[in-house]
Amino acid sequence: MRNIAYAHSSDILQMLTPQVPRDESGCASTQSPPSTMECLERMWIAHARPPLGEALGCLTLTDTLRTSNVVPAVPCPIFALEGWYETTPVGALLLALASTLPKVKTLRELLAEDLSIDTPSIVGSKIVTSEGLVVFAAQPKVGKSLVLQQLALAREFQEKWLGFPTERGTTLYINAEIAEAEFRNRFEIMTERRCLPDPCRLHVESIMGRFENMTGALDLIDGLIKGCCPDLLILDPVSQLLDGEDSSQECVRPFLRRIDQFRNKHGVAVVLVHHLRKPPRRQRGSKSSHKPDMHDIAGTGLWARNADSLIVGHGKPGGDEMTLNFILRNGASIEPFQIKRKVNLLWERQGNRLLPTELHPALTALDQLPQPATNSQWEKAIMAAEGCKERTAQRRIHKAYEDGWVEKNNDGYSLSKDALASGIRADAAPEGAKSG
């Protein structure tokens, strides 16, 4: 990188700049610079260009290094001396230019931000996180859409989705494949004899036949996002939105970049409904069937690499059973489990979950408290049981709730059905006998 230093501007600066207090070594004072100076320094380091200085008659290119008065060992900017930018046209211009530059945070600033560990996932266990990307893939005609319609309804009714807690918010479900009448009929069956909350925060839109190409589809979706400001967007299916083959990176990459723009610009998490490639033919004499994994997602590997969470479903087309496999970037591993579809088109999780070892002491401590227990009561019980600090106890509480092992209401926390089914009370009984 070429360095910029003083050339013929010393006389000009002498006239425009108040004297800066210096120590015996001749260096500038170590007092904290004002925010305006920090702003100008950042502009110089990151974005100042020689043509700007040359046009102002203050700078020229040179190989001579000068030390900044604000940041040691940095080539010296003309605004490093205090005060001049407040009283001169040149300083005012540079300050205006600096104010337009992006603020790049330091690690110190990032760690100082108040990012609460209690911020819940949209779907627990970090399956769907805020502004995250999820790809849900399964064979055609196994009920993928019904699984995600159920997710949208679970958020609306503030219920669990297949055993995982959901955080209520605004959901936008984009249907690009099913006729609108059938789409409506499915929701009608799934919500039979139930009253939707008022106001309703689940928005649904069928866009089949309303666009000509991928750009048109994504522009349409962008407008719909602006219309209802969701924090969760479900696109079903992506194959109807692409211009070309899902195996072509040249086709998929622009699509995923636009999805990333949605996530960053609108603060929305996105779930993409996709399909699996055709399973390999069973070899002669083999009795076992192929069990798909993340490598069976149809098309380019970009789908798997870009997603924060992958959900791979395995079932027979037209059947009422499916096995779900989760691959999570941010959450702990989840054992695959089977779901079964009921008459009302809602899926139900089968079998009991295995209790994570790390949560066993915390849940045992909760079981020994009168329930519902307040956050403070449970926190103190965990600290006593594990000999840990307050922050660790809060992480245990957060994870137990995220993973659906406890129920939370206004009065506090209680063990969930999954926790009770896992045998937590049977495990705690001997400890109670010992203490007695």
Longest C-alpha distance within the chain, in Å?
93
Encode pLDDT of 78-126 as tens digits: 444 444 444 556 666 666 666 666 778 888 888 887 655 556 789 988 9
pLDDT for the residue 125: 85
Q: What is the CA radius of gyration of the chain?
A: 30
133-278+291-349 and 357-435 share one CATH topology? no
Residue with tokens 């149809």: 298
Token pair, residue 128, equals 């769907």
Q: What are the tens digits of pLDDT across the range 323-337?
A: 999 999 988 888 889
Residues 307, 330: Cα–Cα separation, whole Å: 11
| Cβ contact 386:370 at 8 Å | no
Q: Is the pTM of this model over 0.85?
A: no
Q: How far apart are CA 245 and CA 231, in angstroms?
A: 29
pLDDT value of residue 278: 80
| 269-275 sheet: strands from edge to edge | 202-206, 171-175, 232-236, 269-275, 133-138, 309-314, 321-328, 337-341, 347-349
- 377 phi-psi bin (left φ>0, alpha ψ -120 to 50, beta other): alpha
What average pLDDT does the segment 413-418 reach? 88
- State how far the alpha carbon of 290 is from the alpha carbons of 142, 278, 283, 319, 369, in Å: 16, 11, 10, 17, 47
Higher pLDDT, 72 or 4: 72
The residues spanned by each domain of the chain are 4-111, 133-278+291-349, 357-435
Distance CA 361, CA 416 (A): 16
Q: Which helix (H) or strand (E) holds 4?
A: strand 4-6
Contacts of 369 (CB under 8 A, 6+ apart): 377, 378, 381
Lowest mean pLDDT among 42-46, 228-232, 297-301: 42-46
How many other C-beta atoms can be found within 10 angstroms of the C-beta atom of residue 220?
17
For residues 94 and 43, is the Cβ–Cβ distance under 8 A? Answer: yes
Query: Domain 133-278+291-349 classified CATH 3.40.50.300?
Result: yes
Supply the mean pLDDT for the chain. Answer: 78
Dihedral Cα 88, 89, 91, 96, nearest 10 deg: 140
Question: Are 200 and 169 in contact, with CB atoms under 8 Å apart?
Answer: no
- Between 8 and 168, name the one with better pLDDT: 168
Residue 211's pLDDT is: 95
CATH number corresponding to 357-435: 1.10.10.10
pLDDT band (50, 70, 90) for residue 259: very high
Q: 40, 32, 42: which is closest to 105 by C-alpha? A: 42
Q: Find the length of the chain.
A: 436
Q: Which residues contact 48 (CB under 8 A, 6 or more apart)?
A: 4, 77
